[in-house]
């Protein structure tokens, strides 16, 4: 590789020092973004690229855009945002990586008793971001020293939402994790961080809430002042996140996309004033689509068809997950709702 190529590569991967935030596909800091990794069968291309294409959304993208490259690239939104995890070895950085399907499962860890929840907290002394996603075996632990996308996550659709928060908001975020009861497979929580965020210390040790109420909703404000609502439940809540709580809390019908190849799938629920409808097919706008069935989509999101609520999280609708921790992150942001509301092409009617 010549000197010019090396210089260009370095520029593409450059992350400003002291700027711990979500990064968009443009390579610039963003307040939030959503990435929708498309199922492998969608779109043209050779086998090497199949299952690695994605759609990208942020507040300034004007709706869904084709991803800047492949989801496996460290120059895209997800890879670039996670770069500090693999480069920074100082105590000025704290992180938690959690996943009920971790990259390197340990025989001593029973993930089935933990929350059905996946995400990343990455923060420094000024702030950081919360990445909530649906991707198994992701991301690689910090010791791998490199970002990569797991082969196990290529076939099906996946969603990831990243939101940049000031440091103070991680107090509430850390409390939410005591409800979702995540399986933490990698972390760094040294010095002041352990003192400032005692709940994170408890989460790392595998502790969780010990008394009811078994669910918690908190308002979080991003770096740019956008308001998000975090919903978290512990297993003792004993009900579906969506029909048992979220639909009433948001005061609207909800169309829910989730993994429908698990056992004990809950049917659409119209027993209350507001209805919860299982999405069966998703379609991106335009002639090129793409469109795909829920059985090809491992993503977890929901949208209110008539009012501007949209949520991205990590929980399915099935009987087993009524008794597991997990949650979702919701907002009434016009850009978010306008992007998700048209995606619902078909859903299961009640009483089917």
How many angstroms separate the CA atoms of 139 and 99, rounded? Answer: 9
Q: Annotated catalytic, 298?
A: yes
**Helix, strand, or coil (residue 290):** coil
How many angstroms separate the CA atoms of 269 and 89, rounded? Answer: 48
- Relative to beta strand 276-283, strand 254-257 is parallel
How many angstroms separate the CA atoms of 79 and 337, rounded? Answer: 25
Residue 183, classified by CB atoms within 10 Å of its CB into exposed (0-12), middle (13-18) or buried (19+), is buried
Which position has the token pair 């997950």? 321
DSSP assigned state of 324:
S
Contact 335, 341 (CB under 8 A): no
Contact 311, 289 (CB under 8 A): no
How many angstroms separate the CA atoms of 238 and 322, rounded? Answer: 5
Task: Name 52's Cβ contacts closer than 8 Å, sequence gap at least 6.
Answer: 37, 70, 71, 72, 149, 154
Structure-block tokens of residue 130: 């919360």
Give how far Cα 213 sits from Cα of 177, 207, 232, Å.
Answer: 14, 16, 11
Point out the catalytic residue in the list 133, 187, 275, 298: 298
Residues involved in catalysis: 298
């Amino acid at each position: 590789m010549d000197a010019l190529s090396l210089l260009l590569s370095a520029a593409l991967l450059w992350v400003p020092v002291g700027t711990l935030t979500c990064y968009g596909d443009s390579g610039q800091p963003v307040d939030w973004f959503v990435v929708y990794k498309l199922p492998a069968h969608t779109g043209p291309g050779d086998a090497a690229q199949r299952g690695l294409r994605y759609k990208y959304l942020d507040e300034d993208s004007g709706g869904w855009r084709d991803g800047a490259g492949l989801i496996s690239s460290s120059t895209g939104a997800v890879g670039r945002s996670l770069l500090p995890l693999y480069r920074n070895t100082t105590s000025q950085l704290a992180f938690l990586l959690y996943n009920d399907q971790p990259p390197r499962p340990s025989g001593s860890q029973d993930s089935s008793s933990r929350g059905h929840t996946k995400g990343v907290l990455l923060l420094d002394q000024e702030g950081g971001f919360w990445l909530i996603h649906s991707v198994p075996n992701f991301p690689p632990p910090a010791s791998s020293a490199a970002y990569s996308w797991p082969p196990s996550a290529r076939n099906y659709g996946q969603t990831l939402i990243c939101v940049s928060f000031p440091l103070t908001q991680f107090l509430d975020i850390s409390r939410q994790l005591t409800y979702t009861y995540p399986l933490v497979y990698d972390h760094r929580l040294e010095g002041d961080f352990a003192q400032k965020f005692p709940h994170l210390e408890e989460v790392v040790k595998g502790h969780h809430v010990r008394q009811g109420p078994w669910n918690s909703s908190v308002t979080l404000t991003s770096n740019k002042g956008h308001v998000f609502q975090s919903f978290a439940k512990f297993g003792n809540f004993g009900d579906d996140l969506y029909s048992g709580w979220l639909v009433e809390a948001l005061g609207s019908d909800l169309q829910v996309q989730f993994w429908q190849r698990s056992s004990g799938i809950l049917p659409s629920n119209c027993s209350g004033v507001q209805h919860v409808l299982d999405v069966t097919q998703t379609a991106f706008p335009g002639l090129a689509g793409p469109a795909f069935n829920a059985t090809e989509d491992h993503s977890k999101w929901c949208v209110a068809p008539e009012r501007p609520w949209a949520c991205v999280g990590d929980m399915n609708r099935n009987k087993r997950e009524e008794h597991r921790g997990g949650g979702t992150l919701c907002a009434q942001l016009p850009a978010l709702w306008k992007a998700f509301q048209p995606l619902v092409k078909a859903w299961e009617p009640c009483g089917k």
